[in-house]
Amino acid sequence: MSLSDDSRYLRGGPVAQRIIASVREDAAIATAEGFPAKLISITVGDTAAVDVYVRNQRAKAALAGIGFEERRFPADITAGELEAAIHGLNADPRVTGIIIQRPVPVHIPIKTLQAAVHPLKDVEGMHPASIGNIVYNQLDLAPCTAAASVELLKETGLDLKGLEVVIVGHSEIVGKPIAFLLMSEGATVTVCHHMTRSVAAHARRADALFVAVGKPRLIKADMVKPGAAVIDIGINAEIGPDGESRIVGDVDAESVKDVASWITPVPGGVGPITVAILLRNTMVALSRQRARYQATYGAPDKLAAE
């Protein structure tokens, strides 16, 4: 049986469609009430994984009835100019959410940019005032990829309480938030990174293995426990045997599929859910803004009252 027909293949498409259908309903109500949602993406320079993400954001926002605009800046822009652009978007009442695509060029401190986004417009939950929410088990707006990866693990039906989970990669935007989300669910979590003595020794103990590193085929069959769930978050552009550019993950799916009980495809796994959650977070942000507006001005507001 080919993997694509196999139920062990954890496909993100159906999960993403469910989320987008619900976002679409919320967005239609908000628009009818005079509060259309609008997401602004900020891209600095050129990165293949960002191009894929932004292309899908645009397409799915249109499907969900959320406005979308990409602001592209050259790689030699200064941090000050970018901060000024972000402050302009913070002050614009038509803008619901702002996402700063990572990575940004090395001369720009990403943390300063993330902190410049108003916390009410922070649709990724990356502002220093937002990221703590997941530590406190307040999970309604979490970093999108982390939330998407956990959502996909839940599709296995595995009981997360006490589950042995290993995460390879500890970035602020993916690995670390996954660890917090899974701790909230009661899993036992180990986080590996480039200083970990033996990633393989940890990975082989995992009932669920999350990989977010950015290195094609880093995880091979001998690093996976038989029967494990493998969640591949990597999005890497490479040239395939046919000479065409293609997207691959961090897991050597060809070999791992014979050992794992569940595996996420790339493309078609975590990626589509990430986009859907970004749109859902935009609606959560809108709802919070409307609640704040009502609390300040006392204006009646149906969504905020819900």
Ligand X SMILES: NC(=O)C1=CN([C@@H]2O[C@H](COP(=O)(O)OP(=O)(O)OC[C@H]3O[C@@H](n4cnc5c(N)ncnc54)[C@H](OP(=O)(O)O)[C@@H]3O)[C@@H](O)[C@H]2O)C=CC1
Ligand Y SMILES: Nc1nc(=O)c2c([nH]1)NC[C@@H]1CN(c3ccc(C(=O)N[C@@H](CCC(=O)O)C(=O)O)cc3)C=[N+]21
Binding-site residue positions: 169-171, 235
Cβ atoms of residues 143 and 174 within 8 Å: yes
Q: 3-class SS at 234?
A: coil
Q: Lay out the site mask for ligand X across 249-288 (x = CB under 6 A, - = otherwise).
A: ---------------------xx--x--------------
Q: Is the dihedral of CA 277, 178, 184, 125 positive or negative?
A: negative
Closest CA to 212 of 181, 186, 255: 181
Contact between 214 and ligand Y by CB under 6 A: the answer reads no
Contact between 99 and ligand Y by CB under 6 A: the answer reads yes
Query: From the list ligand X, ligand Y, none, which binds 171 (C-beta under 5 to 8 Å, kind-based)?
Result: ligand X
Q: Lay out the site mask for ligand X across 30-49 (x = CB under 6 A, - = otherwise).
A: -------------------x
Number of residues that bind ligand X (CB under 6 A): 25
Residue 184, classified by CB atoms within 10 Å of its CB into exposed (0-12), middle (13-18) or buried (19+), is middle
What's the DSSP call for residue 222?
A: G
Query: From the list ligand X, ligand Y, none, which binds 52 (C-beta under 5 to 8 Å, kind-based)?
Result: ligand Y
Cβ atoms of residues 165 and 189 within 8 Å: yes
Closest CA to 253 of 2, 50, 53, 13: 2
What's the DSSP call for residue 64?
A: H
Spatial distance between the Cα atoms of 256 and 119, rounded to a whole number of angstroms: 40
Q: Which residues line the annotated binding site for NADP(+)?
A: 169-171, 235
Contact between 54 and ligand X by CB under 6 A: the answer reads no
Joined tokens for residue 69: 């605009």
Q: Candidates 68-76, 115-123, 169-177, 252-260 — which segment interacts with ligand X by CB under 6 A?
A: 169-177
Among 23, 192, 203, 278, binds ligand X (CB under 6 A): 192
Q: Smallest distance, Å, CB 267 to ligand Y?
A: 3
**Residue 102 to residues 42, 127, 296: CA-CA distances in angstroms?**
9, 14, 34
Query: From the list ligand X, ligand Y, none, which binds 175 (C-beta under 5 to 8 Å, kind-based)?
Result: ligand X
Number of residues that bind ligand Y (CB under 6 A): 22
Contact between 175 and ligand X by CB under 6 A: the answer reads yes
* Bridge partners, 68 (sequence order): 39
Joined tokens for residue 267: 């493309």
Residues that bind ligand Y (CB under 6 A): 49-50, 52-53, 56, 99-102, 124, 144-145, 173, 235, 247, 266-268, 271-272, 274-275
Residues that bind ligand X (CB under 6 A): 49, 102, 145, 168-171, 173-175, 192-195, 199, 212-214, 233-236, 270-271, 274
